[in-house]
Amino acid sequence: MKRKILLTLGIVASTLLASPSMAQYANQIMGPRLIVDAPSSLAGVKAFTYSSNTAMTGPWGRALDSVWLNVEVVKAAPDITACGTINTVSGKWVIIMRGDCEFGLKALNAQNKGAKGVIIVNQHAGEGPVGMGAGASGSSVTIPVLMVSNIDGLAMLAALNNGQQLFISLAKWGFGNANDLALVPTSTACGPYGAVPLSQFASGSPAAYRYYTGAYVANTGTHKATNVMVKNNITFTPVGGSAASVYTDSSIATGNFNPTDSIIEVFSPRTTSFSPTQLGTYTLNYSVSSDSTDQHPTDNTLTNTVDITANVFCKGRIDPVTQNPKASVFYRLNNNTSGFIWGPLIYVNKGNYKADFVKLAVYDGDTSKHSLNGNTLAVRIMKWVDGSNSQPLDGIIEEKELTLKSIAGRALTNADSNQQMMNLYCFDATGISGQFVTEDDSWYWLAVELPYTSNLWSLGCDGESNYFNRTKAGQDFATTKFSDYASPMYSNSYDAFIQTTDSVRMIAFGAAGNRNASIADSADFTQSRGSVPAVALFVSPFNVGVNTAKPAGEISLYPNPATEVVNAKISLANNTSVASIKVIDALGRTVYNEERKNFQQGEISVSVKGFAPGNYHLIVVGDMGAIYKQFTVASK
């Protein structure tokens, strides 16, 4: 274990919002907060969604327009789902399990028994809170309706089942206390990843893996605060072991912090790096304090985690047991029907590992069905070298700075459904799955391009993560500057992107209307909250010399080079319900596309008379993965 490092009293702070005229925007940045006050083992801020959120389609139920302070919560009984009979619960909130009937009916049944509010628990293991439709009964609901994650909700139910009382507080801003600071949810400078392989530390800790300290602090009390301190105590817990502190840093905002709906940013100029030697978890334990004793301290702490894994890269959090990315929300870029590409930017410090597959979840927007059968998904893995287009280094992705290294993808079947994690297998030009090999000191953009259909597809995201202040800390406050962008986005299709000299929006959803945005501005904080794609890259835990990959199929092409037509004999390892067959040029543009149903093997002919001379790839995406083969079109 590395020795503990103690650094304190770094004074780096500036006012973010401190004017009464900005009160409404300060509330927007803070957002409503749900806090468990008791039992103490569960105390703290909890992530949640609410039915009256105007940012969601069809808001219903009571708006979060008041303060609920230390109110008691009881469980729905005898029917925990509240779809049937429950007992009278006059004046209390009710916790209900999701499932078996509509959200609106659950809430209405509780309301009719005297409930003052409802908390619904997501019944799916490991899942976070999601949006809630009103159904047929929602229009009659006049109480607040919230949803919490499966993990938080089950913990609350367990406490009640053990005879403990459960109390919560809920407000859009403060609770009427004189001295009451709060860490703004999702505002802490998080770690470099939600998960990163242990192998990446074999040759030191690069700038991309640094840790920062900083957060937004709200004065939700009625009195001014002085000497506001944000502290970050990082612990490491090895697998099977106990947590031990490995680093502590803090920063103080000196002077008065006025209480009029104001928020300040408190950041340290220092950074640190670690060189773990075993699997485990780093936990960033944030806290805020001042010269005054806080009267409601349960919102003074927040945590972030970084899992050191055997073979998983993920910007968002992963489930430590299944290693699935945590996808609790699904986002897209407005109603952009022309498509968009979006995904994590991964830094590989130590290469020579095979990229096996990408794991993600999607939602096609069609509530009338669950199956995604008949569609295909693809993730382009592109290496980014800043300035390789003979332009100055600017930290912004431009299309001529990217080199296509692999495509992970497959055709979707009846077994694939909305919001379900699925594996998209990587492949290279030889047609062998998993043979794309990472390189040392390299950036890779995992660009997910969602299908173009009449429905608007969304990408699964970790709704509780936010890289905004990690980026801001590195750009604006750190002594050693570094810009870490979690998930670049381009507001059009891949084909449109590679035909332009345009650049990528480095902060997803930031600076609306400006796709070149790369500077962390506080006005974009709320748009960045929770928008970390739950997209994980799984690499081999062993050296590239060990090959256990199974070919997804074979392609043979003739003639090659071709001048008039190219013929392709295709043999897939398994029969596929829908095979997507396309040809892309050297820039990644699709120049030929067709689909074959119930396909395993056969021959196709593609006319290349209109193709410009150069290199092309024929790609076949099937149920078991994807293969492609390179060919050349010669001059006529």
CATH number of the domain that 292 lies in?
2.60.40.10
Q: Give me the long-range contacts of 83-86 (CB less than 8 A, separation at least 24).
A: 83/109, 84/109, 86/110, 86/113
Give the total number of structural domains in the chain: 4
CA dist., res. 616 & res. 632, Å (int): 6
Confidence tier at 3 by pLDDT (50, 70, 90): very low
Number of neighbouring beta carbons within 10 Å of residue 454: 8
In a domain, 78, yes or no: yes
CATH number at 601 reads 2.60.40.3080
Question: Nearest 5 degrees, angle CA 143-CA 144-CA 149?
Answer: 140
No. of H helices and E strands in the chain?
6, 38
CATH number at 111 reads 3.50.30.30
In a domain, 6, yes or no: no
Residue 405 sits in the same domain as residue 535 = yes
Residue 285 sits in the same domain as residue 329 = no
**Contact (Cβ atoms closer than 8 angstroms) between residue 634 and residue 560:** no
Residue 183 sits in the same domain as residue 157 = no
Q: Is pLDDT above 60 for 5?
A: no
- Residue 205: exposure state from Cβ atoms within 10 A (0-12, 13-18, ≥19): middle
Residue 417 sits in the same domain as residue 353 = yes
Q: What is the SS3 assignment for 372?
A: coil
Write the pLDDT tens digit of every residue in 571-585: 888 887 778 888 877
Residue 299 sits in the same domain as residue 318 = no
In a domain, 67, yes or no: yes
Residue whose token pair is 């779809």: 83
Residue 167 sits in the same domain as residue 185 = no
Q: Is pLDDT above 70 for 401?
A: yes
CA dist., res. 576 & res. 550, Å (int): 16
Residue of higher predicted confidence among 205 and 277: 277
Residue 347 sits in the same domain as residue 372 = yes
Q: Is pLDDT above 70 for 565?
A: yes
- Report the amino acid identity of residue 376: T
Q: Which of 258, 276, 307 is the last residue of a domain?
A: 307
Residue 531 sits in the same domain as residue 403 = yes
Q: From 384, 292, 394, 376, select the one nearest 345 (Cα to Cα).
A: 384
Q: What is the SS3 assignment for 196?
A: strand
Mean pLDDT of 502-519: 71
In a domain, 21, yes or no: no
Spatial neighbors of 193 by CB under 8 A, at least 6 apart, are: 209, 306, 313, 314, 315
DSSP state, residue 533 = E
Secondary structure (H, E, C), 563-624:
CCEEEEEEEEEEEEEEEEEEEEECCCCEEEEEEEEEEEEEEEEEECCCCCCEEEEEEEEECC
DSSP state, residue 22 = G
Q: What is the pLDDT of residue 309?
A: 93
CA dist., res. 630 & res. 619, Å (int): 9
Q: What is the pLDDT of residue 390?
A: 85
Q: Is pLDDT above 90 for 96?
A: yes
Q: How far is CA 141 from the centre of its chain?
A: 32
In a domain, 334, yes or no: yes
Of the listed ranges 48-52, 478-482, 521-525, the least confidently predicted one is: 521-525
Could you tell me where the DSSP H helices lie in 15-170?
23-30, 103-112, 150-161
CA dist., res. 297 & res. 301, Å (int): 8
Cα dist from 84 to 92, 136, 143, 158, 372, whole Å: 19, 16, 19, 22, 32
Confidence tier at 2 by pLDDT (50, 70, 90): very low
Q: Which of 171, 192, 212 is the last residue of a domain?
A: 171
Write the pLDDT tens digit of every residue in 367-393: 677 788 878 888 999 999 999 988 888
Residue 326 sits in the same domain as residue 463 = yes
Q: Which of 539, 571, 588 is the last residue of a domain?
A: 539
**Taking all residues of the chain, what is their mean pLDDT, rounded to a whole number?**
86
Confidence tier at 12 by pLDDT (50, 70, 90): very low
Residue 111 sits in the same domain as residue 49 = yes
What are the percentages of helix, strand and coil residues in the chain, rounded to 5?
10, 40, 50
**Where in 290-375 does DSSP place strands (E)?**
301-309, 312-314, 329-331, 341-342, 345-348, 354-360, 362-363
Q: Give me the domain span that covers residue 102.
A: 32-171
Q: What is the pLDDT of residue 614?
A: 82
Residue of higher predicted confidence among 378 and 342: 342
Confidence tier at 325 by pLDDT (50, 70, 90): very high
Mean pLDDT of 259-285: 91
In a domain, 202, yes or no: yes
Q: Is pLDDT above 70 for 315?
A: yes
In a domain, 27, yes or no: no
Q: Is pLDDT above 70 for 523?
A: no
- Percentage of residues of the chain with pLDDT beyond 90: 50
Number of neighbouring beta carbons within 10 Å of residue 423: 15
Residue 47 sits in the same domain as residue 149 = yes
Residue of higher predicted confidence among 80 and 130: 80
In a domain, 7, yes or no: no
Strand partners, 408: 379
**Contact (Cβ atoms closer than 8 angstroms) between residue 571 and residue 554:** yes
Residue 428 sits in the same domain as residue 471 = yes
Write the pLDDT tens digit of every residue in 205-241: 788 999 999 999 999 999 999 999 999 999 999 988 9
Q: Is pLDDT above 50 for 142?
A: yes
Confidence tier at 546 by pLDDT (50, 70, 90): very low
DSSP state, residue 40 = G
Q: From 380, 277, 426, 423, select the one nearest 588 (Cα to Cα).
A: 380
Residue of higher predicted confidence among 165 and 591: 165
Q: What is the pLDDT of residue 322?
A: 84
Q: What is the pLDDT of residue 11?
A: 35
